Copies of this chain bind each other. A is one copy, B any other.
């Protein structure tokens, strides 16, 4: 694992992520959480996937099954660094999945509304038939840091998540390519295992593909992630695509494949670009 050379911390970012998404039960169906400044996205506020992961950690206490299979998050307003509460409810305990709801609130304001269905990814439920291939990429060591080593003001998530691709996206050099489909490697720096909650953050952890179409930002209205398997340790191969920017709204599709070549997460979000 790479030496970060940042104060010599020996704590892996996976452990930092686990601590930063930890929730503490304070009463029935209510948990204390704290949104740290270590997972900031563009805009300097907590990344949406990070806030989703906090909600999913709380739901893993609420529900009787361990793994989120599908989760939908509606982002209502920007999160703030500091204390938050997560209120959870069981919607239905079914034969094969259990469904719950989580609301992340800060003070009087609800920030994120989540509905999710949980199951057990260790139980085989049927046949497997995969009709697409993982991203084809050179070894991570032969790829370039997608941030180009640049700092983006307030964007702390790139201190903890590592992105590597054949070349940096055009927008990072001020020249959007017009091609909003690409593949790249991603992992937590100094990562050991990656768990299912980390996947829910990582599908939202890269810069929006719509930046490659010349937009300067995007806010997520809604994100749904399907967790398809528990990931193996190692680099994750990612594929992102935005095909339809229509009246300032766009989807972003995201896939994450693990080091064994298995699809582990698939997400789609609806984003909205800033108006002049």
Contact = CB atoms under 8 A, between A and B. Distances in A.
Nearest to A126: B248
Contact of A268 (B99, B123, B129, B268): B268
Interface stretch (A17-25, A58-66, A71-79, A146-154): A71-79
A246 B222 contact: no
B273 A132 contact: no
Contacts of A242: 131
A270 B222 contact: no
A275 interface: yes
A91 B70 contact: no
Interface stretch (A4-12, A34-42, A44-52, A223-231): A223-231
Contacts of A92: 76-77, 110
Given A127-B215, A226-B251, A94 B77 contact: yes
A142 interface: no
Query: How many copies of this chain does one complex carry?
Result: 2
Interface residues of A, number: 55
Most chain-B Cβ atoms within 10 A of its Cβ — which of A76, A110, A126, A213? A126
A61 B74 CA distance: 20
Contacts of A229: 246-247
Interface in A206-263: 213, 215, 221-222, 224, 226, 228-229, 242-249, 251, 262-263
A51 to B, nearest CB: 15
A171 B152 CA distance: 52
Given A72-B115, A91-B110, A125-B275, 18 more contacts: A69-B249, A72-B72, A74-B117, A76-B94, A123-B247, A125-B272, A126-B248, A126-B272, A126-B273, A127-B247, A127-B248, A127-B273, A132-B243, A132-B244, A228-B247, A244-B266, A246-B262, A251-B266
23 contacts: A69-B270, A70-B270, A74-B117, A76-B91, A96-B272, A101-B113, A113-B115, A117-B221, A117-B222, A117-B270, A125-B248, A125-B275, A126-B245, A126-B273, A126-B275, A127-B215, A129-B213, A130-B243, A224-B224, A226-B251, A228-B246, A228-B249, A246-B263
